[in-house]
Each structure stands twice: as C-alpha cells, then as structure tokens.
Structure 1
Amino acid sequence: MLHDSRDAHPIPLRRQRDYRFLWSARAVSETGSEVTKLAVPLTAATVLHASPLQMGLLTAASTFPYLLVGLPSGALADRVGRRRPVMTACETVSGLVMLSVPVAWLTGLLTIPWLIAAAFVVGVCTVVFRTFNTPHLATVVAESQRTEALAGFQSVFAVAQIGGPGLAGLLVALLTAPVAIVVNGLSFLASALCLRAVRAPEHEAGTRGAGLGREIAEGLRILIGHPILRTLCLTGMTINALGAAQLALYVVFAVRVLGLPGSLVGVAAAGFGVGGLLGAVLAPRLNRRYGENRVLLGSVLFFPVAFVGTAAAHGPVWLVMGQLGVAELITGVAVVCYSVCAGSATMREAPDGLLGRVNATTQFAVQGVMALGGLLGGVLGESLGLRPALWVCTAASLLVIPCLWLSPIRRDARLARVERSPSTARRPESVPEASRT
C-alpha cells in the first residue's frame, strides 16, 4: 500500500506489491525492446538493403519525438492527476504498432518508410511514458527508497541487455528478423497488463492554470538556471548524440566490415548488460559510501571505452567478440552507476511540483539530440566510411569528461568529502549535501 511505502521505516521494495508490478512491467518490455534493437536494423539492412543514410534516418525516427512532444508531455505530466492510464495506453499502442511490422513483411508490404513510421510512433509513446513514469514513481516509492528503486529499474535494463541479444540472435536465426519483432509487440502488451495491476492511489499534481506555454517555460528556466541539473543535461546530451551516431553505423559495420553473422551482431552487447547488472548492484553502495557527485565524476571517465572498443575492433570473429564484449562490460558498469545517481539527483534537486517538467525538459534535450546524432552518424558513414566515422565519434566522446569535471559537481564532491571526514563531521557549519542546490 502507498502509506506503507511512505512510513519512517518503509518496508523493503521487494515486498511492495506495486513496485513489483512496476518492475515486472519494465522487465518484459525491456527484454522485448532488446530483441527489436537488433531485429529492426537487421530487417532494414539485410531484408530491405538500407543504405547508411537510411539507417541514420531509422535511428533518428525513434528519438525525434523527444524534440516534438517532449516539452508538452512534461507540462501535462505535472497537470494530470492519474498518470498510470496514460502509461498503459502508451504500452498498448506501442505493442500494436510493433506487431504491424511482421504482418507487413508477411504480406509483402514492408518498406523502409514503414519501419521509420513504426519507429516514430513507438518513439512518441516512449517519450510520453518516460515523462509520466518519473512523477508516477514518486507516488509509489518512498523518497528514502528512490535510489534503490532506480537501481532496481537499471537492473531490469541490464538483465534485458544480457539475455535480449542472445534471444534476439536465436529468434532471428530461427524466425528471420521481421518475425522476431513479434516478441517486442507482445512484451509491450504484457507491460500494459502489469501496469493495470498497480493499485497505489494517485493524487492531483496541483499545477493547473498557469497555461501550457508558461509551464513549459518554467521547466526550461529551472533546468537552465540550476547548475547541477544543467550539467547533468549537457553531459547526457553529449554522450547520447555520439552514441546515436555510433548506433546508426554499428549494425552495418558489424555485418559488412567485421564480418559478424546476423545472429552474433547483438551478442557482444550482452557485455553491456552484464556490466549494467553489476552497476545496478554497486550504485546504491557506492552512493552511500562516496556520495552521488563522486560516483558521477568517476563514471564518466569510462564512457569512451565502448567507442574505442568498437572503432578498434578487428581480427577473427572470436577476437572481435571479445573486444566488443569487454568494452561493453566496462561501459555498462559506468553508465548504470551514472544513470542511477543522475536520476536520484534529478528527483532530489527538482522543485516540488516541477519534477514532471524538469524530467521532460531533460529528456527533450538528452534524448532529442539523438535524432541529430543518428543523422550525423549516417552522414559521416556516407562521407568518411564506416570505421573512420566511428573514430570521429570516439574522439568526440572524450568531451564528456571535462563537461562534468569542470562543473559545480566537482566542487560539491570536494565539500561532501570534507563533510564525511571524521575531523569535520561534527562541525556546526557543515551543511548536508542533499540540502544544497
């Protein structure tokens, strides 16, 4: 029950019914999505013979909705009293759209524009779902358990990334890439059923009446004016833009340059899932011991590893798989530790009643820039070639380090370290890190 989760001593998350259903919804949906991450580009590259530029457009189609509806959805998330029905509708629509892809292929109607349109619709639903999910989580989980809850969701993503690529490879080999997409369609529908089973009451947000445009502007003002939130947003924009550029090239590069069979293209990504699962276990512990800011600073040092591993991969299949797998493993630990701490910091730093708008504005920038990144990757691949384009992304990925290390987060990390030391722990002038903005 909701009141149990908000007690001074809340019951463990694993014993909270509503959180278990939320966790289960994410588990089935993310596993299906991992299958689609391989099956959709493989369908485009091998069945429809897409060019690098078309692959870039396909990548951009799933992230462009962040630019289109990201900001309005944030204002609506703060206005709407019942967010769960909206989230359920998003999962249902996504499931039906993904099921249309194998049907179109079986009837001979599937084209690149069809795939792009499907990716766009699912992208819109994803934007709305994620925007509504953060304030919804705050009504289900106690504030003291939010870092643990976010880590639990990250463990879902990690497990999906471990099993998803192998499942995707098996399904592609047995059923062909288009038919494998059925798994994602069914997983969206299963997620919708899990969401309907959540019982936690939802409350009115209490932010109506200011006008949609004014509310969107307020979210932008908070994000731009808050040094911590602004830094996290800029860091996310940088790494996501470059990650999207790499993603637009990866499947074509793996198949045509590295010579990997389609069933193995996604297996190396399982290394990211293993690292992500380890990161989800470590993140709450590292946060308790070192604080969010120091974990954030340490995590970004490892972000470029996956870019280097992909661009430098060469040799026989077994060696390539090892290179990609190790690079993804290291990056998975770093990315999940960063994501958990960044999400917790955002929920803490966002003013009351503005979490939906702050989250949506952040997603608008961080995820929306992936549309541009996907196009950039396609253009670089066409003009420079696949491997040189990947090296350009690798060099640019180093920018995330000064982005965070030259920000107020480093200053706050130093202050928090001083406050944690035994010699200063009892000084009356010490201010808890959570109280600073």
Structure 2
Amino acid sequence: MTETVVRADPAPSRRPRVPRLLQQTAFRRYWSAQTVSLFGDQITMLAVPLLALLAVGAGPAEMGYLTAAALLPNLFFSLPAGAWVDRRPRRRQVMIITDLGRAGLLLAVPLLWWADALNLLLLCAMVFLIGLLSVFFEVAHSSLFAALVQRPDYVDANSLVNGSRALSHVAGPSIGGLLVQALTAPVALFSGVLTYLTSAVFLARTQVTEHPLASGSGQGMAAGVRYVARSAVLRATLLGTTTLNLFNYMFAALFVLYVTTELGVSPGLLGLIIGAGAFGGLLGAAVTGPVSRRIGIGPAVLLGFVLFPAPLVLVPLAVGPQPLVLALLFAAEFVSALGVMVLDIAVGSVQIAATPVAMLAVVSGFRRTVNYGIRPIGALIGGALGAAIGVRPALWIASLAALLGVFWVVFSPLRTMRKLPEG
C-alpha cells in the first residue's frame, strides 16, 4: 500500500490550506519532485514488462521473475533502510542520489538493447537495483515530508501527494503505452530517465531544515515489530493488506501478458485503458474524506478492502466482442483504482494515528517489509500458476482470493471504529 507519512488531525479545519501550501516554495518543489518521480515510475512499470515481452520474448514464468526482481528489495531492505535513513541528517540528499541512480540504471537498459546485449537476467538485475534505490527514496521521502509540513497541514499535503499519485496513474500508463507504440519500448524508457532527472533537480532546489528522527537501529526495529504485533488495529490492517497484496501481485504478474496476447489488445490501447480507468483514483481521492466522515473510518477501511480487488474479476470475465472486452477492462481499472485510493488513504490514516510519534519510522519500515515483501512472492506464484494451469484460470484464482484480506479487518476493532485511534 502507499506509504505516506501523514497523521490526520482529528479536528478538520474549514480553512482551505492547499493554496497556501503550494505558495510555499520548499513544499512546491518537493511536491513537484514527487509528481514527476511518480510519472517516471508509471511509465517504467508499463514499458519494462512490454520490453521483456516484445524484445526478450518473456513468457508467463519469466514475467513473474521480472516482477519479483523489482519487488524483492522491499522484502530485504525496507526495515534496515528506514533505520539507516533515520540516522542521516540530510535525507533530501539520499533522495537526490537515488533519483540519479535510477536514471542511470534505466538509461542502461535501452543501451544494452541497442548493443544486442540485453537478456532476461540483465533486465531482472536492472529492475532489482532500481527497486532497491526506490526503497531508499520512499523511506527518505517519509522523513522529508515530516520535516517540510506542519501538523495542521498534514491532511492537505497528503491530499496533494495522493492526487499526484492518482494523476500519474491516469496519464503515466497512457503516455507509456503510446510511447511504446510509437517509438518501441527501449526508446520509451528515455522518458522515465528524464522524469527521475527532473525530480533530482527539484529536490536539489528544495530548502529544508532536517533533524534526525531516531538513534540506533537494533532495539528500535525490534520495538516496532513488537508494537505492531500487540496492536489489534495495526495487526489487522497489516495482515489484511498483506493478504490482498499476495493475490493482487499474482494477478499483476500476468495482467499485461493476458491482455496483450490472449485478448489481442495493443500496447497503446492498453495504456489508454489503464490511464482512463485510473480516473477512478482521482475520484477516490476526492470522496474518501467525505465517505469516511459519513460512515466512519473503520467502515471506510472495510469498503476499500472490497472495492479494490472485487472489480478485477472482470478481467478474466472479459470475453466476446472487442468493444465488450474493452468496456470490461475499463470498468475493472476504473472501480479498482477508486477502491485502492479509498484503501490507501483510510488505512494509511488509521495506521499512522495508531502509532506513537516516536515509533513512526520503525513501524513504517516493518509494515513495508511485510506488506511489500509479499509482493514478489505473489508475482512468482502467479507466474508459476499461469505456466501450470493457464493464464486465465490463474487470474480467476488471484482476483477472487484477494477478497480474503477483508476478513482480517472484519474481526477487529476497525469494524465499528468511527474516529481515528490514538497511538
């Protein structure tokens, strides 16, 4: 799930803060860096699997390996990266270095392809290293957010960041798909290089006073694990999102392959469908606040756990004339994007509100280790299952089983929780 350091203020203000935030030069540059970096992530996320499919000849199992390679760093490095970054006095510099590193690695992919030296092993190594740098970027981003934004502005700042994320889901895949269609996948990766370089420039121009948030790592990491294990709210949300992500990434590992090969959808059209469907994310960002106030934060979490995975059953259900297939794919993307935004905002607010301020970094690192670490496992299982029983039956299993995540939350205090908990 999206890890954004935000602690919602229990007393919502009626005074509009978003315009004032954007008038602050430091925040505006930080937010601009986040926005272009998110666009780079989305373009790369579509272009790299298409490159593996079209240029390297990857099949179901190979697509699973590639997806897993990009996600494995979250399993092994999130918690130690969080402890290490918290001891660094200049987390902004960590983000700049990781942006430059990701740009260099991504640039190497088309160069290797042009030299006729690119193979699946090298592509997996490249995406693994890019994923490793992304772990450090995201951990440092959480701390930089807290240094830049005052507590009264947390909710408005979070809305801007999540709005950028939703917008990148709308435009990023569309741009990526069209670039692949027009210029081929290797050339399309150059746009991802430019976004990471642009992000580094914005961050380099961001003026902020940073202070270390933690000292030491061993005891802090152990304390974070113990706190989550003992908290009924944090335990339920972590187990629920982990279950959902296991099956969702089984689905994700096979989605591009299934839609392009078995349904005959071109890369450009696929990008447009994903981008148009992601408008649901913008709608989700707009309605989550009012919905959670109307039905309560706990029921909003439950709603997100259902609304995110349930529409994905429309993908293996998509058979028949192409207009019907395209309509079902669009509906799946739109409603699922709305649901994931509801889930991210509601769960993120609950998790941070339920965590003591002094433990936010270590608890976030532990959640990321488990929640993100399960994703490459899901991708590997998805690839193996697709190779064993066929891609479409594997998608049916993954999309239906993802709904099991909600049961962890149903039998927890969240079921009747109206307001954010206290840490």
**1:145–1:346 CA distance, 2 compared to 1 (3 A):** farther
| Residue equivalent to 1:424 | none
Q: Measure, in 1, the Cα distance between the counterparts of 2:303 and 2:30.
A: 30
Give the conservation status (yes or no) of the 8 Å contact 1:151–1:283. no
- In the TM superposition, residue 434 of structure 1 has moved relative to its aligned partner by 4.2
Q: Measure, in 2, the Cα distance between the counterparts of 1:315 and 1:156.
A: 35
Which ranges of structure 2 fall in alignment gaps of 5 or more residues? 1-8
Q: 1:381 aligns with which of 386, 402, 406?
A: 386
- Residue 181 of structure 2 corresponds to residue 173 of structure 1: yes
Q: 2:33 aligns with which of 25, 31, 49?
A: 25
Which ranges of structure 1 fall in alignment gaps of 5 or more residues? 1-5, 417-432
Q: Runs ≥4 in structure 1, deviation > 6 angstroms? A: none
Q: 1:43 aligns with which of 36, 51, 57?
A: 51
| Residue equivalent to 1:269 | 274
Name the amino acid aligned to 2:165.
F
1:338-357 C-alpha deviation (Å, 9 max, x unpaired):
21122222332222222111
| Residue equivalent to 1:144 | 152
| Residue equivalent to 1:423 | none
| Residue equivalent to 2:94 | 86
Q: Measure, in 2, the Cα distance between the counterparts of 1:169 and 1:364.
A: 31
- In the TM superposition, residue 289 of structure 1 has moved relative to its aligned partner by 4.1
**1:247–1:405 CA distance, 2 compared to 1 (3 A):** same
Aligned to 2:225, the other structure's residue is in SS state helix
Question: Counterparts of 1:249-260 in structure 2 under 5 Å?
Answer: 249-260=254-265
| Residue equivalent to 2:6 | none
1:226-274 C-alpha deviation (Å, 9 max, x unpaired):
2222222112211211121111111111122111122222322124420
Q: Measure, in 2, the Cα distance between the counterparts of 1:364 and 1:225.
A: 18
Aligned to 2:358, the other structure's residue is in SS state coil
- In the TM superposition, residue 155 of structure 1 has moved relative to its aligned partner by 1.2
Give the conservation status (yes or no) of the 8 Å contact 2:232–2:413. yes
Deviates more, 1:383-392 or 1:317-326: 317-326
Question: Counterparts of 1:9-408 in structure 2 under 5 Å?
Answer: 12-205=20-213, 207-209=214-216, 212-408=217-413
Give the conservation status (yes or no) of the 8 Å contact 1:147–1:284. no
**1:270–1:405 CA distance, 2 compared to 1 (3 A):** same
Aligned to 2:211, the other structure's residue is in SS state coil
Give the conservation status (yes or no) of the 8 Å contact 1:275–1:329. yes
- In the TM superposition, residue 288 of structure 1 has moved relative to its aligned partner by 4.1
TM-score by length of 2: 0.92
Q: Measure, in 2, the Cα distance between the counterparts of 1:372 and 1:111.
A: 22
Give the conservation status (yes or no) of the 8 Å contact 1:83–1:132. yes
Give the conservation status (yes or no) of the 8 Å contact 1:307–1:393. no
Structure with higher Rg: it is 1
| Residue equivalent to 1:436 | 422
1:134-163 C-alpha deviation (Å, 9 max, x unpaired):
222112112233233222212112111111
Name the amino acid aligned to 1:347.
I
TM-score by length of 1: 0.89
**1:98–1:85 CA distance, 2 compared to 1 (3 A):** same
**1:158–1:248 CA distance, 2 compared to 1 (3 A):** same
Give the conservation status (yes or no) of the 8 Å contact 1:271–1:326. no
Aligned to 2:90, the other structure's residue is in SS state coil
Give the conservation status (yes or no) of the 8 Å contact 1:78–1:355. no
Identity %: 33
**1:218–1:393 CA distance, 2 compared to 1 (3 A):** same
Name the amino acid aligned to 1:436.
E
- In the TM superposition, residue 167 of structure 1 has moved relative to its aligned partner by 1.1
Q: Report the RMSD for the aligned CA atoms in angstroms.
A: 1.9
- In the TM superposition, residue 311 of structure 1 has moved relative to its aligned partner by 1.5
Q: Measure, in 1, the Cα distance between the counterparts of 2:248 and 2:114.
A: 32
- In the TM superposition, residue 276 of structure 1 has moved relative to its aligned partner by 0.5
